[in-house]
């Protein structure tokens, strides 16, 4: 049913795009007012306008009104007054951001500035003609923005030689880490596991000896999230270390946390997780815990021995995993480990490209110029410093050129629902001080109370990091099938992980054949074509 629903959404979006190019869909009175004279070189427009901007709603307990808080007031008191505009924020649930954005775009109700980390979604909008070409406005109003990002980063937002997206800048490129209960290891006098085999044996010990003395112990916590269906860093342990450049580019096209069904070794990774499931080592309700809230609760309540998540996941304020765990289980300790060693003795970890989220302006927007002015304003180092840290001497103190937060942004109207306030400072995916060394030094300071832990997580997560291959040409088949294939990948994982071990091999072949027949082959073929065209020289 979900696949049909998603197809229906895309069908509606396609029809709207072809019939109207998504222009004129925003027909409210406020939109009409926004179509007045546009600013070219002066600081203020001749007519007051409203700029609508997406903001992630992470559902953090106690979070302030996402459209009326300390940070939104700063934005309107500075940018708003300078450009005679009101910035209105439109909350979108973080766990449903792609589905929600598809609906908003199809209905012509998307804000003037939207964003996503999903490249396939961007490809789709480009193919459907739903995005504004930002090139002219960037040239006229984005000098600081262009300087801040540079051509090497801006290229990630170019499709068919047009600037359809503004890429955010990532200052930390790490992907995922595996974490383990160090206090459980100590209680059982076990070493930190350094190979898949040692990790498996450790999970067996956790199950049999239950060092946390909890009801319903879960050695390895896992949640199958449809938006990111994958196995974390586990497949890297089974992937051959001698892939050719072409194999790396065309077989490993999804981010590391998503499924790459034709990648050599991926089936072996499935078999490894399947064995853990059948031996009672992973979360029994993994397939139905689609938003990972049950997993977060199990970790927080001390039931989970190990799990894989974002490299800094336990230290984030939302969902506050380590804080909650320590409150519930005094003496509990989580540490990042590196057990996914491959045939070459390395522990490769897929990370991010230097671009962060894709910042987009729908073609229906009347405020393309104002949107670029907003991002250009955000590229100012003083603006970035404030949005990520607040007021010096109140919300942070500068120590050796690095802002150290005082804790005032943990609650109330100043609450940051994510480290460094990245839901409002959308141009920077990570702390940004204009200096690489300072950025690295400042990352840990953005997690008050967990500075040492974050430094260690950075160190572990950086070992054998690799970025995905850069394709200069969009994959139109991926744009067409990305969402439905991800949904089918989630179904495949659920079936394969919970299957009888003797059935995995044949079931894998059957399901992958179906996957390829439902668009996977078309996506792969186009990646091969694009790779060959890109490397003709």
pLDDT tens digit sequence for 326-364: 999 999 999 999 999 999 999 999 998 888 899 999 999
**What is the distance between the alpha carbons of residues 374 and 135, in angstroms, rounded to a whole number?**
15
Q: Is the pLDDT of residue 288 over 60?
A: yes
**What is the distance between the alpha carbons of residues 47 and 31, in angstroms, rounded to a whole number?**
13
Q: Is the pLDDT of residue 27 over 70?
A: no
Average of pLDDT values for 138-152?
96
| Domain finish residue from 340, 365, 384 | 384
Q: How remote is the C-alpha of 146 from its chain's centroid?
A: 23
| Domain finish residue from 331, 365, 384 | 384
**Per the domain annotation, does 244 fall within a domain?**
yes
The answer on 121 and 35 residing in a single domain is: yes
Q: Is the pLDDT of residue 7 over 60?
A: no
Q: Could you tell me what percent of the chain has a pLDDT over 70?
A: 91
**Domain count within the chain:** 2
**Per the domain annotation, does 274 fall within a domain?**
yes
Average of pLDDT values for 393-398?
95
**Per the domain annotation, does 433 fall within a domain?**
no
Helix/strand/coil for 133: coil
**Per the domain annotation, does 457 fall within a domain?**
no
The answer on 307 and 373 residing in a single domain is: no
Q: Are 23 and 34 in contact (CB under 8 A)?
A: no
* Averaged confidence pLDDT in the chain: 89
* Position 304 confidence tier, pLDDT thresholds 50, 70, 90: very high
Which residues are within 8 A (CB) of 296 and not within 5 positions of it... i.e. 6 or more apart? 319, 321
Range(s) of the domain holding residue 132? 2-172+356-384
The answer on 168 and 180 residing in a single domain is: no
CATH code (residue 197): 3.40.190.10
**What is the distance between the alpha carbons of residues 420 and 418, in angstroms, rounded to a whole number?**
6
In DSSP notation, 151-210 reads HHHHGGGEETTEE--EEEEES----EEEEEEHHHHHHTT-PPP-SHHHHHHHHHHHHHH-
Q: Are 403 and 445 in contact (CB under 8 A)?
A: yes
The answer on 180 and 159 residing in a single domain is: no
Residue 329 pLDDT? 98
Average of pLDDT values for 13-24?
37
Average of pLDDT values for 458-484?
89
**Per the domain annotation, does 443 fall within a domain?**
no
Helix/strand/coil for 358: strand
Measured between alpha carbons, how far is residue 422 from residues 99, 177, 247, 330, 537 in Å? 21, 20, 34, 31, 40
Average of pLDDT values for 388-397?
95
Dihedrals φ, ψ of 443, to 5°? -55, -50
Residue 356 pLDDT? 86
Dihedrals φ, ψ of 501, to 5°? -55, -35
* Position 172 confidence tier, pLDDT thresholds 50, 70, 90: confident
Average of pLDDT values for 78-103?
95
The answer on 273 and 222 residing in a single domain is: yes
The answer on 166 and 282 residing in a single domain is: no
Least confident interval from 89-98, 250-259, 521-530: 250-259
Residue 44 pLDDT? 45
**Per the domain annotation, does 423 fall within a domain?**
no
Q: Is the pLDDT of residue 35 over 50?
A: no
The answer on 186 and 85 residing in a single domain is: no
The answer on 222 and 315 residing in a single domain is: yes
Residue 492 pLDDT? 97
Q: Is the pLDDT of residue 42 over 50?
A: no
pLDDT digits (tens, 9 = 90+) for 399-444: 988 898 899 999 999 999 998 899 999 999 888 787 777 777 788 8
**Per the domain annotation, does 136 fall within a domain?**
yes
Which residues are within 8 A (CB) of 382 and not within 5 positions of it... i.e. 6 or more apart? none
Instruction: List the 166-170 sheet strands across, edge first.
Output: 114-116, 355-360, 166-170, 428-429
Q: Are 377 and 148 in contact (CB under 8 A)?
A: no
The answer on 206 and 96 residing in a single domain is: no
Q: Is the pLDDT of residue 49 over 60?
A: yes
More confident of the two residues 179 and 451: 179
The answer on 292 and 205 residing in a single domain is: yes
Average of pLDDT values for 366-376?
98
Average of pLDDT values for 145-150?
96
Residue 537 pLDDT? 62
**Per the domain annotation, does 414 fall within a domain?**
no
Residue 429 pLDDT? 86
The answer on 284 and 232 residing in a single domain is: yes
The answer on 184 and 122 residing in a single domain is: no
């Amino acid at each position: 049913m979900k696949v049909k629903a998603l197809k229906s959404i895309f069908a509606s979006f396609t029809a709207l795009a072809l019939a109207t190019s998504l222009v004129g869909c925003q027909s409210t009175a406020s939109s009409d007012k926004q179509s007045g004279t546009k600013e070219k070189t002066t600081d203020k427009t001749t007519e007051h306008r409203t700029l609508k901007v997406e903001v992630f709603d992470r559902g953090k307990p106690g979070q302030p009104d996402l459209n009326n808080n300390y940070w939104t007031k700063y934005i309107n008191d500075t940018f708003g007054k300078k450009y005679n505009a009101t910035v209105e924020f439109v909350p979108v649930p973080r766990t449903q951001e792609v589905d929600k954005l598809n609906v908003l775009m199809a209905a012509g109700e998307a804000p003037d500035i939207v964003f996503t980390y999903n490249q396939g979604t961007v490809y789709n909008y480009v193919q459907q003609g739903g995005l504004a070409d930002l090139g002219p406005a960037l040239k006229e109003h984005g000098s600081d923005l262009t300087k801040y990002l540079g051509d090497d980063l801006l290229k990630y937002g170019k499709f068919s030689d047009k600037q359809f997206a503004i890429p955010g800048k990532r200052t930390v490129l790490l992907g995922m880490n595996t974490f383990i209960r160090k206090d459980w290891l100590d209680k059982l006098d076990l070493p930190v596991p350094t190979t898949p085999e040692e990790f498996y044996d450790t999970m067996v010990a956790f199950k049999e000896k239950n060092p946390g003395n909890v009801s319903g112990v879960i050695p390895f916590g896992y949640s199958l999230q449809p938006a990111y269906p994958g196995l974390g860093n586990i497949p890297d342990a089974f992937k051959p270390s001698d892939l050719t450049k072409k194999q790396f580019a065309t077989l490993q096209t999804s981010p590391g946390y998503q499924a790459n069904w034709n990648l050599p070794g991926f089936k072996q990774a499935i078999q490894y997780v399947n064995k853990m499931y059948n031996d009672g080592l992973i979360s029994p309700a993994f397939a139905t815990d689609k938003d990972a809230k049950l997993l977060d609760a199990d970790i927080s309540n001390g039931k989970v021995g190990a799990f894989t998540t974002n490299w800094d996941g336990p230290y984030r304020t939302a969902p506050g995993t380590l804080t909650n765990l320590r409150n519930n289980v005094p003496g509990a300790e989580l540490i990042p480990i590196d057990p996914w060693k491959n045939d070459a003795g390395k522990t490769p970890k897929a990370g991010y490209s230097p671009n962060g989220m894709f910042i987009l302006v729908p073609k229906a927007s009347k405020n393309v110029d104002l949107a670029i002015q907003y991002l250009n304003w955000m590229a100012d180092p003083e603006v970035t410093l404030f949005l990520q840290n607040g007021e010096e001497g109140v919300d942070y103190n500068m120590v050796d050129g690095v802002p150290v937060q005082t804790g005032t942004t943990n609650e109330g109207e100043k609450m940051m629902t994510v480290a460094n306030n990245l839901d409002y400072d959308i141009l920077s995916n990570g702390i940004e001080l204009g200096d690489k060394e300072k950025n690295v030094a400042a990352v840990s300071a953005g997690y008050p109370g967990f500075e040492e832990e974050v430094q260690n997580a950075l160190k572990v997560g950086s070992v054998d990091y690799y970025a995905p291959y850069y394709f200069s040409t969009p994959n139109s088949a991926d744009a067409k099938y990305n969402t439905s294939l991800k949904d089918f990948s989630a179904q495949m994982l659920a079936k394969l992980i919970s299957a009888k071990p003797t059935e995995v091999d044949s079931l894998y072949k059957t399901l992958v054949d179906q996957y390829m027949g439902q668009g996977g082959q078309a996506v792969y073929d186009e990646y091969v074509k694009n790779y060959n065209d890109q490397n003709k020289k």
